[in-house]
A and B are shown apart, each in its own frame.
Chain A
């Protein structure tokens, strides 16, 4: 695994990304950064603002999909991309995050959706890992 905490995994038609983190929060952040890297999101001119997000998942996998879905939706409808993130996951997979966002200049390759395909957040010696498949 690269120092970035994410790497692309070969997939015939779509895109797959393996992310890891010492904690669920770090895994979520690395998965988000990996997704933004695949999309090739470039920030434009304009002031950074803070977006506060609260969501809940039924389990760690659902939370991971919901989190990435929220970012995609926000990016498409508000034309923004994301910088620094402060994520906290409390009991019952309840996530609260503060995310720095900037106007979006351009996207290299859009992602249609985040899938649950073979998705499992697994424990490793280093923490947690998961492979997410995106429909492109």
Chain B
């Protein structure tokens, strides 16, 4: 159990657990939080999970914990850990079951106030057109050959098949296609689960949300991103569905044996890993890339359905309805990147589980118009509260392997949320605040109640104060679609 007195305060928003805290730690753990968020994090096992993650072989720098941290399994949600190539390890549980779970933001030139009379119709159109919930009705069913192409091509497959506009791809992390994907590294079981699910939102905390751009903090960046105060935008939050879940399950199981073969001792079996230069590690990276590309294609197809919905509702009634892509980011991913660690450039595998890549200005992977600004970061809040658009900074490159927070972070269990909140009452409360809701299940809606989450504004204040992100815009929901 980690106690507050075990942490050393480095700044008002940064704390450290030194390697001396536990014999098996290889690097320190640093936590981005103020006193209130730190105490909330110490209430569950999230910080202890970060200490467990700090025992992985080949770690460099520190294990970083974002202010939206909460208890997960193995790694905490909101954790960042970098292992050196070639002999450091990769841990599938440090990336998560929903590989490349992420967020896409699109913006229109519609004014929210002129769109307001049509928002109920828009909610219904989005719910009808964007398949959500447990089933797969309305998906893009694939043959095995087509699935292999999705694995290799990601968003490029979506573009070839009429689900994307060419301008969408440069506005997607990695252009919507991770290199090194090998469908032969994916089990037939994962393929069987993934084949009928492409283009579906799923359930749980995944959502589609229409937002009002409430406030701009960085006019220059907002202008380049196509965001204007009072405008209407749309977010999609989902991942790689059963395909990614099965890839992770397969490799967590396989790596139970790998840790014995490589004589790796761990405090938790969910942290199982394999050296990046081992056959097992390379195969997982190739399979993970397939799931990541599946997720990029998945969000791209949902974006296509969202565009159709805007057209159905607004075409002929209002101008400026077409949706342009602002950016698309992953927040469950392992990436091979170059970073300066202790003044030395090195190639590392950055595990981000519930954390977002936040590369600063000058990053060559950004399109020319975004390069001087830094990478856009999308931070969805809880249902009914604000979401944020941020930018990566030089500070995130220097401090956190180019990473920042990913959301609000839970403070209440799903069970406790259902005890505290009734789904039908929550829907009435949100609708009284002008938020239109379409949900497949009222109990599931209650699980995602705003009370179950930290305040996203407080989380964003910590990362901006720490210098690992800067604010661009705050969004306020007006329509929420949940599975």
Tell me the A residues contacting B by CB distance below 8 Å.
Answer: 8, 10-15, 58, 61-62, 65-66, 69, 73, 76-77, 106-110, 112-119, 133, 135-136
Which of B73, B242, B252, B443 sits near A14, CB closer than 8 Å?
A: B73
- Report whether A118 and B270 are in contact in the complex, using a CB–CB cutoff of 8 Å: yes
- Report whether B134 and A77 are in contact in the complex, using a CB–CB cutoff of 8 Å: no
- Report whether A66 and B253 are in contact in the complex, using a CB–CB cutoff of 8 Å: yes
- Report whether B413 and A115 are in contact in the complex, using a CB–CB cutoff of 8 Å: no
- Report whether A106 and B134 are in contact in the complex, using a CB–CB cutoff of 8 Å: yes
CA distance A136 to B245 in the complex (A): 10
Q: Mark B245-256, 1 if CB is under 8 A from A, else 0.
A: 110110011001
Q: Which residue of chain B has the shortest Cβ distance to A109 in the bound complex?
A: B444
- Report whether B256 and A116 are in contact in the complex, using a CB–CB cutoff of 8 Å: yes
Does B42 make an interface contact (CB < 8 A)? no
Does B98 make an interface contact (CB < 8 A)? yes
13 A-B interface contacts by CB (under 8 A): A12-B46, A12-B413, A13-B410, A15-B415, A62-B256, A76-B242, A108-B444, A110-B134, A112-B97, A114-B249, A117-B270, A118-B268, A135-B245
Residues of chain B within 8 A (CB-CB) of A15 are 414-415
Please tell me the number of chain B residues within 8 Å of chain A, measured between CB atoms. 43
- Report whether A76 and B253 are in contact in the complex, using a CB–CB cutoff of 8 Å: no
State how many angstroms separate the Cβ of B89 from the closest Cβ of chain A: 16
**Which 8 interchain pairs have the tightest Cβ spacing?**
A117-B73, A116-B269, A117-B270, A115-B73, A113-B97, A12-B71, A135-B97, A112-B245
Residues of chain A within 8 A (CB-CB) of B249 are 69, 113-114
- Report whether B134 and A107 are in contact in the complex, using a CB–CB cutoff of 8 Å: yes
Which of B46, B93, B257, B415 sits near A115, CB closer than 8 Å?
A: B93
- Report whether B193 and A77 are in contact in the complex, using a CB–CB cutoff of 8 Å: yes
CA distance A96 to B317 in the complex (A): 63
Residues of chain A within 8 A (CB-CB) of B441 are 108-109
Q: Mark B394-419, 1 if CB is under 8 A from A, else 0.
A: 00000000000000001111111000
Which residues B157-200 have CB closer than 8 A to chain A?
189, 192-193
Residues of chain B within 8 A (CB-CB) of A11 are 71, 413
Given known contacts A15-B414, A135-B96, is B192 in contact with A109 (CB within 8 Å)? no
Which of A8, A12, A62, A113 sits near B412, CB closer than 8 Å?
A: A12
Add 17 more A-B contacts to A13-B70, A117-B72 (CB < 8 A).
Answer: A10-B413, A10-B416, A11-B413, A12-B44, A12-B71, A12-B412, A13-B413, A107-B134, A112-B242, A113-B97, A113-B249, A114-B249, A115-B93, A118-B270, A119-B270, A133-B73, A136-B204
- Report whether B443 and A117 are in contact in the complex, using a CB–CB cutoff of 8 Å: no
CA distance A82 to B73 in the complex (A): 27
Q: Which residue of chain A has the shortest Cβ distance to B96 in the bound complex?
A: A135
State how many angstroms separate the Cβ of A132 from the closest Cβ of chain B: 10
Q: Which residue of chain A has the shortest Cβ distance to B412 in the bound complex?
A: A12
Q: Which residue of chain A has the shortest Cβ distance to B192 in the bound complex?
A: A77
Q: Which residue of chain B has the shortest Cβ distance to A65 in the bound complex?
A: B253
Does B272 make an interface contact (CB < 8 A)? yes
State how many angstroms separate the Cβ of B333 from the closest Cβ of chain A: 16
State how many angstroms separate the Cβ of B267 from the closest Cβ of chain A: 9
State how many angstroms separate the Cβ of B254 from the closest Cβ of chain A: 11
Which residues B211-256 have CB closer than 8 A to chain A?
242, 245-246, 248-249, 252-253, 256
Residues of chain B within 8 A (CB-CB) of A13 are 70-72, 77, 410, 413-414
- Report whether A62 and B134 are in contact in the complex, using a CB–CB cutoff of 8 Å: no
Which of B44, B98, B411 sits near A112, CB closer than 8 Å?
A: B98
Q: Which of A13, A106, A113, A114 has the most C-beta atoms of chain B within 10 angstroms of its own C-beta? A: A13
Q: Mark B84-97, 1 if CB is under 8 A from A, else 0.
A: 00000000010011
State how many angstroms separate the Cβ of B406 from the closest Cβ of chain A: 12
CA distance A112 to B190 in the complex (A): 12
State how many angstroms separate the Cβ of A2 from the closest Cβ of chain B: 15
Residues of chain A within 8 A (CB-CB) of B269 are 61, 116-119
Residues of chain A within 8 A (CB-CB) of B208 are none
CA distance A45 to B77 in the complex (A): 40
Does B203 make an interface contact (CB < 8 A)? yes
Q: Which residue of chain A has the shortest Cβ distance to B255 in the bound complex?
A: A116
CA distance A108 to B416 in the complex (A): 17
CA distance A31 to B72 in the complex (A): 20
CA distance A108 to B411 in the complex (A): 23
- Report whether A73 and B189 are in contact in the complex, using a CB–CB cutoff of 8 Å: yes
Residues of chain A within 8 A (CB-CB) of B253 are 62, 65-66, 69
Does B74 make an interface contact (CB < 8 A)? yes
Residues of chain B within 8 A (CB-CB) of A112 are 97-98, 204, 242, 245
